[in-house]
Amino acid sequence: MSYVTFRVVIPARLKSSRLPNKPLLDLGGKPMVVRVCERAQRSGADTIVVATDSRDVRDAVRDAGFDVCMTREDHPSGTDRIAEVCDHFGWADETVVVNVQGDEPFLPPALIDQAAHQLVDSGADMATLAHAIHDAGELFNPNICKVVLKANADALYFSRAPIPFARDAFSPDWQQGQQPQTLPTSGYDCYRHIGLYAYRRRFLRDYASLAPSPLESVEALEQLRALWHGYRISVAVTDTLPPAGVDTPDDATRAQQVYADHFAALRIDPQA
């Protein structure tokens, strides 16, 4: 595999309707946004920058020794926020930037590197990752984003709905008001989207100037803006499914327990 130089930007808004002050959630003695920086640091990224509109987040990141860029409060998406970071630092058009979500403290670093390579190898405008779905519960879960691929592995569409919908297999249960419990055993592929994006700086300049698409608003999926305006999104299917991120109070409790168990097993005091 050829070497790819890339930068990681981590959007981190302090305001969250489901989990207030989410970036500053304590995970084993450190704010979650710092834990995400540490994961990104292990990916081989040339640069790691947190993009935030919060002074509290800025201070926590700086105290941990990572770079931070203060951005406007009114960005409609993380990608728009990253575009401002590129402007702030004056990065060249060919700079490869990977968007790592600020609520993914367990993201495998290798996936960050894989997204950067997928962008360069495919020549697409954007690149992202997906994982095969084998459970009907995942397919029909609206909190899990699904992606349908073209023959060349570019994204055809993203949705919170169960796509592709296997009409002959699913309709009997659906007509009886029941959710299908199994997936077709052959000739059917469905994929869970992993919310990790890679782009070049020149695309980010274009993206920030694009009008939001109706589909982006309906599905609450920012990547649909790119598809709506005709840009290519290349998808690498990976065998590695990252652990769930942190989006709700229950997620926060689970993540804190993971760190508590880890340090207990190592007999380390995280506050020491």
Give a yes or no: residue 69 inside a domain.
Answer: yes
Structural domain includes residue 241: yes
- Amino acid identity for residue 257 in this structure: Q
Reading the block at residue 105, the tokens are 């403290």
Instruction: Report the DSSP beta bridge partners of residue 99.
Output: 9, 197
Sequence letter at residue 137: G
Does 118 fall in a domain? yes
Amino acid at 135: D
pLDDT tens by residue, the chain, 272 residues: 567 899 999 999 877 667 888 999 999 999 999 999 999 999 999 999 999 999 999 999 999 999 999 998 888 788 889 999 999 999 999 999 999 999 999 999 999 999 999 999 999 999 999 999 999 999 999 989 999 999 999 999 999 999 999 999 998 888 888 999 999 988 899 999 999 999 999 999 998 889 989 999 999 999 999 999 999 999 999 999 888 888 888 999 999 999 888 766 655 555 54
What is the predicted pLDDT for the residue at 183? 93
pLDDT of residue 20: 80
Q: Provide the residue range defining the domain that includes 81.
A: 6-131+193-263
| Spatial distance between the Cα atoms of 172 and 249, rounded to a whole number of angstroms | 37
How far apart (Å, rounded) are the C-alpha atoms in residues 170 and 184? 9
Nearest-angstrom CA–CA distance, 32 and 10: 12
pLDDT at residue number 272: 47
> CA-to-CA distance for 7 and 47, rounded, in angstroms?
5
* SS3 call for 170: helix
Tokens of 126: 């954007």
Contacts (Cβ under 8 Å, ≥6 apart) of 165? none
The CATH number of the domain where 251 resides is what? 3.90.550.10
